[in-house]
Amino acid sequence: MSIVTEFNDYRQRMNEKIMAADNKVIKRFFNLDTNTYQQGALDVKTKELLGLACSMVLRCDDCIKYHLGKCYEEKVSEEEIYELFAIANLIGGSIVIPHFRRAVEYWEALKEETVTPPPVHPHAV
């Protein structure tokens, strides 16, 4: 199983369990997160790039994978993704490098396969 499929399957399975708990606060938080990345004054591509940069600086591998998947869907180019990686490393410092390596590995995996269904943000359904 590929790292993309494994990641998406795990998140889907766990999100189903989380939603089954039927906690109103959790559901509202997930919904807020989902709605934040919708088209608005900023386009979806820009929002996903921002989410990716922030996720790299915060060193959240799940969020990095999620936003990489969305950036791939939004047709972010190789040049754009590497400029974003440069910014995230500059802002976050050398501690971001291990996450950068995993991000490159995941980006390469995305290019090797079609992502279906589209990934769901780790904090949303």
Q: What is the 3-state secondary structure (H, E, C) of 61-123?
A: HHHHHHHHHHHHHCCCCHHHHHHHHHHHHHHHCHHHHHHHHHHHHHHHHHHHCCCCCCCCCCC
Q: What is the pTM of this model?
A: 0.87
Q: What is the pLDDT of residues 19-61, one digit of tens each?
A: 999 999 999 999 999 999 999 999 999 999 999 999 999 999 9
* Contact (Cβ atoms closer than 8 angstroms) between residue 91 and residue 53: yes
Q: What is the pLDDT of residues 69-106, one digit of tens each?
A: 999 999 999 999 999 999 999 999 999 999 999 999 99
Going along the chain from its start, the domains and CATH numbers come out as 3-113 (1.20.1290.10)
